[in-house]
Amino acid sequence: MKKKNLHVIKEVLPGSIAEECGMEPGDAIIKINGEEVLDSLDYRYMMADEELVITVLSKQGEEVEVEIEKDFDEDLGVEFENPFMDEYRSCSNKCIFCFIDQMPPGMRETLYFKDDDARLSFLQGNYVTLTNMSEQDLDRIIRYHLEPINISFQTMNPELRCKMLNNRFAGDALKKADRLFEAGIAMNGQIVLCKNVNDGKELDYSIEQLMKYIPVLESVSVVPVGLSKYRDGLYPLEPFTKEDAKRVLAQIHGFQAHCIAAFGTHFVHASDEWYLLAEEELPTEDNYDGYLQLENGVGMLRLFEDEFDEALDYLKEDVKEDPTLAKILYPANFDESKAENGQPLYNKRTVTVATGKSAYDMLIRLSEKIMNEFPQIQVNCRAIRNDFFGEQITVSGLITGGDLIAQLQGTELGEVLLLPENMLKCNEDVFLDDVTISAVENALQVKTDIVKSSGQAFLFKVLGLECE
C-alpha cells in the first residue's frame, strides 16, 4: 500500500461514529466503498453517503472493513494527522501585495510557507487564486459539488492580473471561475485593493464583470492591501489615505445600491478597515447579507458590537430583576450579605483590554457602557502600536508578544489582562514572534485571559463571568 494513501487518524472525537465503531488514534483509513481516498476532497465527498464500507488499517497492522449506516452528510468524527490527507501545495505566484514577502527574517519556518491550495478553501475558508488549482481538482470540485469556494480575484482584467500575481497564467486562470459558475458551485470573491494598481476605474470594471456571476457568486469583499515596514526591494505600493478610503466607499456603496435594486443583495462589501480609515459609521447588520465574509474582516466589528449590546441588555433587564439568576451568573463577585432590596452588589474589579488600533475606539465605547452600568468595574483599554511589522498594521491579529510586553510593562493592569484569541497561533498559547502567554504573564506580572471573537464573550470576560 502506498504511504500517501494511508490517512492516519490523530484523534477520535468522543461520542462519534468512529468511536462507536472502535476506531482509535493510529488507525489509518485506506478506502471508502472500495475506492482509494486521495485527499480531503475525496474524503469530504465520499463521507456524505448514508451507507459506507470503510477499509481501515489498524495500528497493529490488521486490515478490516467497517460497515456504517448514518445520516446523509453526518461526519465520521475523526481528525487526521494531515488534515489535507496529501502533501501541502505551495503557491507559484509572486503577488505584489503578498504579506509573507513583507515579514522579517528569523521567524518560525511555517510562517513563510505560501499556500494557494484549493482544499484549504473548504477546510479553513482560505481564498485561492485559481492559478494553482489543477484541472483534476477543478473536475472533482464540480463532480462532488463542493462549495462554497473562496476566490481571490484581485482584478478581472487578465493582463493586469498577470502583473499583480507575477504569473503569466493568472489571466487565463479566470476561466476556471467560468466553469465553476456554469456548474453552479457557490463562490465568494475577494479583491485586495492596491493604490494606483487595481483601484479606480479598474475596480469599477472588476465589479461589473463579477456581477455577471450573481447569484452563484454570492459576495465580493474589497480589502485594502496590508503593508508592513519590510518592503525593501518589493513593488512600490502606497498606503491608502482617509480621502482614498472615502472614494472607495463611495464606489462600493454605488454598486450596492444597484445590486440591491437588481438582485436583492448588496453583493460587494467593503471590509471594516475602509470605514475606520474614512472615519465613517459602520453599516447596519442588514447591509451585510448574512455576514458571508466575516473572516475577511467584513462586518466583524458590527457583529461584535451588536452581540455585545444584546448580551448587555440581557444582563440589565433580566439578571438584575432576578437575584437568584444574578447569583448564578456572578458566582465570583456576588456578596449576599451586601444585597439591598433584592439587588446584588459586587466586589470591585479592574481589567485591562489590549487590542490593535483598528478596534480600539469600538472597545473604548463598549467599555464605557460596561462601566456606566456596573460602576464596580474598571476597564482600561490599551491600543498596542505594531512596532514589529510597522505602524500601518493596525489589526489585533498581527500583534506580537514582544510588543505587548514592551508597551505594557510598568503599567497598572488590574486583576487580569484580556487578549483577543486571534493574537495567538491557532490552538496554541504562542504569539507570532514565538513569545508565549506564560512569558507575557511573567514579564507583566499579571494573569491573562483569552477572549473569543464575540461581543458576548468580551462582556462576560470583563465582568468575570463564564461564557459558553
**Structural domains of the chain sorted by starting position, each given as residue range(s) with its CATH number in brackets:** 3-80 (2.30.42.10), 100-297 (3.80.30), 302-463 (3.40.50)
Q: What is the DSSP letter of 6?
A: -
- The one-digit pLDDT tens for each residue of the chain (468 residues) are 444 467 899 999 999 999 999 999 999 998 899 888 887 777 888 888 889 999 999 988 899 999 999 888 788 889 888 776 666 666 778 999 988 888 888 777 666 555 655 555 555 567 889 998 888 889 988 988 888 999 999 999 999 999 999 999 999 999 999 999 999 999 999 999 999 999 999 999 999 999 999 999 999 999 999 999 999 999 999 999 999 999 999 999 999 999 999 999 999 999 999 999 999 999 999 999 999 999 889 999 999 999 999 999 888 776 666 665 555 455 455 555 555 555 555 557 899 999 999 999 999 999 999 998 887 789 999 999 999 999 999 999 999 999 999 999 999 999 999 999 999 987 789 998 999 999 999 999 999 999 998 999 999 999 887 765
Does residue 162 sit in helix, strand or coil?
Answer: helix
Q: What is the DSSP letter of 208?
A: H
- DSSP state string for 89-132: -B-----TT-SGGGSPTTS-GGGG--B--HHHHHHT---B-STT
Measured between alpha carbons, how far is residue 93 from residues 169, 188, 244, 463 in Å?
10, 20, 28, 47
CA distance 358 to 423: 14
Q: Please enumerate in sequence order all residues whose Cβ is within 8 A of that of 44, keeping only pairs 6 or more positions apart, or say none.
A: 122, 144, 146
CA distance 164 to 237: 11
- 3-state DSSP helix/strand/coil percent for the chain, to nearest 5? 40, 20, 40
* β 416-420/349-355 pair status: parallel
CA distance 311 to 301: 15
